[in-house]
A and B are shown apart, each in its own frame.
Chain A
Amino acid sequence: GIQVEQSPPDLILQEGANSTLRCNFSDSVNNLQWFHQNPWGQLINLFYIPSGTKQNGRLSATTVATERYSLLYISSSQTTDSGVYFCAVDGGSGTYKYIFGTGTRLKVLA
Chain B
Amino acid sequence: NAGVTQTPKFQVLKTGQSMTLQCAQDMNHEYMSWYRQDPGMGLRLIHYSVGAGITDQGEVPNGYNVSRSTTEDFPLRLLSAAPSQTSVYFCASSYSRQTYEQYFGPGTRLTVT
Contact = CB atoms under 8 A, between A and B. Distances in A.
A103 interface: yes
A103 B38 CA distance: 13
B16 interface: no
B59 A97 contact: yes
Contacts of A100: 35, 42-44
Interface string A67-110: 00000000000000000001010100000111111110000000
A98 B56 CA distance: 13
A41 B58 contact: no
A45 B103 contact: yes
B57 to A, nearest CB: 9
A97 B45 contact: yes
A86 B102 contact: no
B104 A43 contact: yes
Interface string A14-47: 0000000000000000110101000001110100
A98 B33 contact: yes
Given A41-B88, A41-B107, A42-B106, A101 B42 contact: yes
Chain A binding surface SS class: strand
B1 interface: no
A96 B25 CA distance: 18
Interface stretch (B63-71, B75-83, B93-101): B93-101
Contacts of B88: 41
A98 B107 contact: no
A72 to B, nearest CB: 15
A33 B42 contact: no
B23 interface: no
12 contacts: A31-B99, A33-B101, A35-B104, A45-B103, A48-B99, A48-B101, A97-B48, A99-B45, A100-B42, A100-B43, A102-B40, A102-B41
Interface of B: 31, 33, 35, 40-45, 48, 50, 56, 58-59, 88, 90, 96, 99-104, 106-107, 109
